[in-house]
Amino acid sequence: MKFVVTIFCVGLVSAVSCQLQCLGGPHHKSTPSSETNFQECLLYAESSCCHANFTEKLSRSPMIEVNNYYYNRCGNLSKTCEDYMKKTECFYHCSPLASHWIHPNFSEAIQHVPVCQSFCDNWFDACHSDLTCTYNWISDWEFDETGNHCKNDCIPFHKMYANGTDLCLNAWGVSFVTSSSPCRCLDFTETDKKVIKYILKGDNSAESGEEEACKPRLKKPEDKKAADSEEHD
């Protein structure tokens, strides 16, 4: 992790903090630290802004309630859709990278995290027939002590959102933007750690390095399958 931290700081002339920190709010640690006993969000166990107990409820399927936020107001989500929700929850709560996109006015919020177009499209496909009553899952609710409640009817995702772009740009408020450059975006996989320096620096001098860093992402599905079976041999 130390290696990665060093890279963040090299050549960063902007105001981006060199120190890894966590977002504000009651559910975030003040600084990231390693966690054992993660049941979900394993990507961030080495350096995490969430406590292990957060991952407990998140790991259930169907995922029903997390921090008094109910995911089943329109019925249980499908397993495939739920998996994408979990990835975005894990990133927001646990990733020490999230604070690079901290919202200037709300330390609990993030804005404009560049998410890979492919992730957005796959997320939209995964949730296509699941139901939702909110376009913006942060604000379009009635909140009381028993959590979030629908103000509107439940409709399928494919009616609520035009496409994956619409979903990424709006579902979590201003948190995400889409990026069609496969090497300068997050897709909430292990590769994020390698591509982060290219995302933050906007450095065009090391294109081959950039491509090397995001190699796992550029592989076609067939190649991936071949690589997987090689590993298993």
Ligand X SMILES: *[C@@H]1O[C@H](CO)[C@@H](O)[C@H](O)[C@H]1NC(C)=O
Q: Where are the beta strands (DSSP E) in the chain?
A: 65-66, 69-70, 113-116, 131-132, 141-144, 147-150, 155-156, 176-179
Q: Does 62 bind ligand X (CB under 6 A)?
A: yes
**Looking only at residues 152 through 191 of this chain, which bind ligand X when binding is defined by CB under 6 A?**
162-163, 165-166
What is the smallest separation between the CB atom of 213 and ligand X, expressed in angstroms?
Answer: 26
For residues 216 and 153, is the Cβ–Cβ distance under 8 A?
Answer: no
Report which DSSP code applies to 33. B
Phi and psi at residue 92, to the nearest 5°: -65, -45
Phi and psi at residue 103, to the nearest 5°: -70, 135
Binding mask 68-107 for ligand X (x = CB under 6 A): -------xx---------------------------xx--
Tokens of 40: 């979900």
Binding mask 15-54 for ligand X (x = CB under 6 A): ------------------------------------x-x-
What is the smallest separation between the CB atom of 123 and ligand X, expressed in angstroms?
Answer: 14
What is the smallest separation between the CB atom of 29 and ligand X, expressed in angstroms?
Answer: 8
Distance CA 15, CA 29 (A): 22
Chain position whose Cβ is nearest to ligand X: 162
**Looking only at residues 192 through 231 of this chain, which bind ligand X when binding is defined by CB under 6 A?**
none
Residues forming the site for ligand X (CB under 6 A): 51, 53, 62, 75-76, 104-105, 162-163, 165-166
